[in-house]
Every structure is written in C-alpha cells, then in structure tokens.
C-alpha cells in the first residue's frame, strides 16, 4: 500500500497540473471573451452586441413614447434595449427597499439615498461594488461624482464605491457657498405699487406681513373675501416665517453643534419661538388663510399663479419655477407675469439671512449586485457620455440644428416652436440622467434669460448675506450620516407640529415650552449619542 501510494504521486501531480492549466486557460479565455465580447466594438466604434438592461426610474414611460429619434439615438449609440420599470413617487422608497432586500433590484435604479439603509445594504452585499479603477475609465462621471461630497465620505466609511450620488450642480453652480433653493417668495408688484410698498431684493418677515396688511386693507385687486394676503401652506410658513428667524427649525438642521461644542435641538431655541410668534400673528390677523395648514402640494401657489387671488406666495429659487409660474399665469389668467411678479429672498426680523447649506447631491444611482460586467460597463459608458458637454446638450436641448443652435455670440438658442418644450417633442427623457436638471437650468435658453439671471442673483445674494453676518445652517456630515434607532424615532413633521402650536388656545410661549418638554424623551437620547461621537 505504501509503495503504491508513492508510485501514484507523480502521475497524480501531473494530472492536477494539467487540469489546473486547462482551467486557468479556460477561465482566462472566458474572462477575455466576457470583457471583449460583451462590449466589443465594430469598425465604426459601435457596440457589436445588443444588451437588454433593466432600469427603474421615476420618469413614466407610456406605450409609444420612446418611439422617437431622441430615444433611438441613445439605444442605437449604446446598442441597448431597455427593460423599463416605472416607480411612482409615493411608493419610491418602499418599492426600492423591497427590491433591494429581496435581491430583485433591476440592473440600475434611481434611489433616494438613506444612509442607515445604505450601510446595511453594503454590509449584506446587496449593492454592486465598483471596480477600483472606475474613475480613470469614466472621468466625466468621476468629476461630477466628486462634487457631491457624499461619494468621498462614503468611500471613507466603506472602503469602496457602491453608489453614484447625483450632483445637483456640475459645471453651472450658481454660488458658493451653495444654499438651499427654498426661501424665495413671489409677490404681486402691481399691487405693491398700488399700495405704496417698496420693491426690494430682500424683505424681513415683518415687512412682508406689512405688505400683506396693506393689500388686505386696500384690496387693489378688488377681490373682497377671495383675497389671500399670504398664500403659504404649512411647509411654506415654516420655510418663510419660522426658518427665516431660526435656521435650525427644520428637520434637515434640527440637530446641530453649537458654539459651545455641544449638540442642540433647534426647535427648542428661542429663535424658533420668535418665528412661531410671527406665524401666529399672521394667522390671527387673517394674513394667512384660515385653512392654510390643510393645504397640500400646490394649493398655496395656485392661489397666486392659477386663481390670481394671492399677494404673496412661496416660489423657490430655481429659474424653472419662475418659468412655470409664467406659463401658468398666461394659461389661467391671460396675463404677462413679468408685469405682475416680483421675486425676493426672506430675512429674519433681525435683518439676518438664514438658510440651509445645500449639499450638492439629491438621490442616487445604484446597481444590482448580480449585474454582469458587460452590462455595468455599458451603462457606465452611457452615463459618462451623458455627463459630457455633448451629452448634456443632447439631454437638455435635443439635436443641434434641429432643436437648438449657437447664435453669432456663441449663445444657445432654442429652435423649438414658441410654447413647446423638449419634453413635448421627446417625452420621457430619462437616459443617462445623472447630473440633475438644476445645473442646466442656469444656461437653458428655453428659460428666459431674465429669469435665469434673477435666479443666479438671488443665489449669489443668499451666499453673500449668509457669509457676511448671516446664519447658514452648515451641512454637518457627522450629523447627516449618523444613523441610530434613537435618531429615527426623533423625526418629526415639524411643519405640522408648528401649525398645531400656533392654533392652540392659550399662551403660545407656554404651549411651546410644554411641547419642547414633551419631546425630550425622544430628543435627549439623540443629543447624548451625538455628544458622545467624538469622545
């Protein structure tokens, strides 16, 4: 037996070596075929093999909508057949959570980033890990990705790349520091002129209330009981009255590190009470609609742009919002909004500007952990092209010479018929959507230059006022990326909480103090955890 064993060793080793070499060669051949075969290109630079790629996006695609030259360009250029999955806004979070946890995630999907969930998904291997050299291969994506800030932070935590946060701004960032686009209002300038109210670029909350009083008293629009002096819903009131006076009153900045080096809860700050008092005063005087806190979505702004019965409404800082207001007023009121609308930013009653520092990302792209190399690379090739200057022009303007051109001054000029948009011509444009549309809106000629210039000016005013004596709530990565059961439990719908407070009978300050005390059992554990982070 011993002799036989010794005699059998060499032949066995030989067999093992031969098998190993064969497997290695086979594996190498398969890898090369996989890498080259799936994304091999023909003599014209086109992809030889068509890939069917599943995707989940918030853009609805109806039957026949993709049968146009725009979609054909993308599918032909990258030789892709889309397996499209429409995700509705209201079910977005839950549907993606189910898909991810069940292992049914499409090849690529748009996901609204949640830090705690992300870390769990990475730990469980539920998201695709990018190759280490991806930034060298896809430089356009890498450049936009770096500007989000979030990408680098997550690499520090996970040791790799598992997600593509979507940059809000890439090459057209309007100001630095970047502030949240909220905190811009629109008022009826024809009514302001009629009641002798000065037009300015910035107003305190009390100044806007005084304008509303004048309009209510003199009724320049002859609207009687239909008049809504300040047309805010609960969230608008939080933004333009309470946050204007207390930068840490919103959920995004409620937990913050103070000058004493300790963490605090903004709704308990005296400045929040200041905002609540102004909000209650506006309500009691009838400047706010009696049912403002029940309004949903666009009900507040519709009083201004659709019904024409409001003196002030919340607008937001994007030029596209101003364009939409103009469209709505022409359609519903038959008026030129340029003659009637003035936009401005809102200050606290102490004259200081407050807002939230805006992180340069919103939502993200994620990939199935089971996606093969060929599909991943093909998608990344598409996204990289879409992030280039050429790709951005195509996504946002359509085809040069057909949908747009450069004028003699090298300025973009839209060739679309008046009153139509690119979305009208090419519905459901979702391909390569990585850089958000906010970036291109700064230079998009489909939006009036006056609206774009005004938007940029207000952004720059916000940045200047925020730095020079203002109170910007800085984006604290330690807080924003901190996740715990206690923090999840201490999440409140502040706009509703504040509305309830100003509606309660009795003394507002006493009610506010009771409310603050009632929340301490949920708030204090979070403060304790945050204060212990750096110990």
pTM over 0.75: yes
Give the SS3 label for residue 52.
strand
Cβ atoms of 438 and 169 within 8 Å: the answer is yes
- Say which DSSP state 441 is in: H
Number of H helices, E strands in the chain: 24, 16
Ordered structural domains, the chain, with CATH: 51-165+363-435 (3.40.190.10), 184-358+451-531 (3.40.190.10)
- Left (φ > 0), alpha (ψ -120 to 50) or beta: where does 184 sit? beta
Beta strand ranges found along 244-378 (DSSP E)? 255-257, 263-265, 310-314, 341-347, 354-356, 364-367
Residue-level pLDDT, tens digit, the chain, 535 residues: 333 333 333 333 333 333 333 333 443 333 333 344 468 888 888 899 999 999 999 988 888 888 899 999 999 999 999 999 999 998 999 999 999 999 999 999 999 999 989 999 999 999 999 999 999 999 999 999 999 999 999 999 999 999 999 999 999 999 999 998 899 999 999 999 999 999 999 999 999 999 999 999 999 999 999 999 999 999 999 999 999 999 999 999 999 999 999 999 999 999 999 999 999 999 999 999 999 999 988 999 999 999 999 999 999 899 999 999 999 999 999 999 999 999 999 999 999 999 999 899 999 999 999 999 999 999 999 999 999 999 999 999 999 999 999 999 999 999 998 878 888 899 988 887 899 988 998 999 888 999 999 999 999 999 999 999 889 998 999 898 888 999 999 999 999 999 999 999 999 999 999 999 999 999 999 999 999 987 6
Burial class (CB in 10 A: 0-12, 13-18, 19+), 456: middle
Token pair recorded at residue 182: 């909220």
């Amino acid at each position: 037996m011993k002799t036989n064993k010794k005699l059998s060793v060499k032949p066995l080793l030989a067999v093992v070596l031969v098998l190993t070499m064969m497997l290695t060669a086979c594996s190498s051949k398969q890898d090369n075929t996989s890498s080259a075969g799936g994304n091999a290109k023909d003599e014209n630079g086109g992809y030889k093999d068509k890939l069917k790629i599943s995707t989940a996006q918030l853009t609805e695609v109806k039957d026949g909508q993709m049968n146009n030259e725009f979609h054909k360009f993308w599918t032909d250029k990258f030789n892709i057949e889309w397996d499209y999955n429409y995700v509705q806004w209201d079910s977005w979070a839950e549907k993606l959570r189910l898909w991810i946890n069940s292992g049914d995630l499409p090849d690529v999907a748009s996901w609204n980033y949640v830090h705690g969930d992300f870390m769990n998904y990475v730990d469980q291997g539920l998201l695709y890990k990018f190759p280490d050299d991806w930034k060298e291969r896809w430089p356009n994506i890498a450049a936009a990705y770096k500007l989000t800030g979030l990408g680098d932070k997550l690499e520090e935590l996970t040791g790799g790349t598992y997600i593509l946060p979507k940059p809000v701004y890439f090459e057209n960032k309007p100001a630095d520091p970047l502030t949240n686009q909220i905190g811009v209002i629109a008022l009826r300038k024809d009514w302001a002129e009629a009641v002798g109210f000065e037009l300015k670029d910035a107003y305190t909350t009390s100044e806007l209330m005084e304008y509303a009083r004048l309009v209510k008293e003199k009724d320049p629009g002859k609207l009687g009981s239909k008049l809504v002096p300040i047309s805010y819903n609960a969230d608008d009131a939080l933004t333009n009255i309470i946050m204007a006076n207390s930068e840490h009153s919103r959920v995004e900045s409620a937990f913050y590190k103070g000058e004493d080096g300790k963490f605090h809860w903004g709704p308990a700050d005296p400045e929040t009470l200041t905002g609540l008092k102004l909000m209650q005063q506006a309500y009691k005087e009838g400047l706010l609609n009696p049912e403002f806190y029940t309004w949903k979505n666009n009900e507040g702004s519709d009083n201004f742009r659709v019904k024409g019965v409001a003196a002030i409404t919340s607008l937001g800082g994007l030029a596209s919002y101003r364009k939409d207001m103009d469209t709505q007023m022409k359609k519903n009121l038959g008026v030129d909004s340029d003659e009637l609308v003035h936009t401005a930013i809102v200050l606290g009653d102490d004259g200081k500007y407050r807002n939230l520092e805006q992180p340069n990302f919103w939502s993200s792209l994620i990939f199935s952990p089971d996606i093969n190399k060929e599909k991943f690379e093909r998608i990344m090739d598409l996204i990289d092209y879409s992030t280039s200057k050429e790709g951005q022009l195509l996504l946002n303007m359509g085809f040069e010479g057909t949908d747009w051109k450069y004028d003699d001054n090298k300025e973009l000029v839209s060739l679309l018929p008046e009153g139509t948009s690119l979305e009208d011509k090419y519905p459901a444009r979702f391909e390569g959507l990585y850089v958000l549309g906010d970036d291109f809106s700064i230079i998009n000629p489909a939006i009036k230059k006056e609206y774009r210039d005004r938007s940029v000016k207000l952004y720059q005013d916000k940045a200047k006022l925020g730095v020079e004596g203002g109170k910007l709530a800085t984006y604290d990565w330690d807080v924003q990326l901190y996740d715990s059961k206690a923090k999840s439990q201490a999440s409140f719908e502040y706009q509703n909480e504040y509305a309830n407070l100003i509606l309660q009978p009795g003394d507002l300050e006493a009610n506010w103090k009771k409310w603050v005390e009632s929340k301490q059992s949920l708030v204090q554990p979070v403060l304790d955890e945050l204060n212990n982070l750096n110990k």
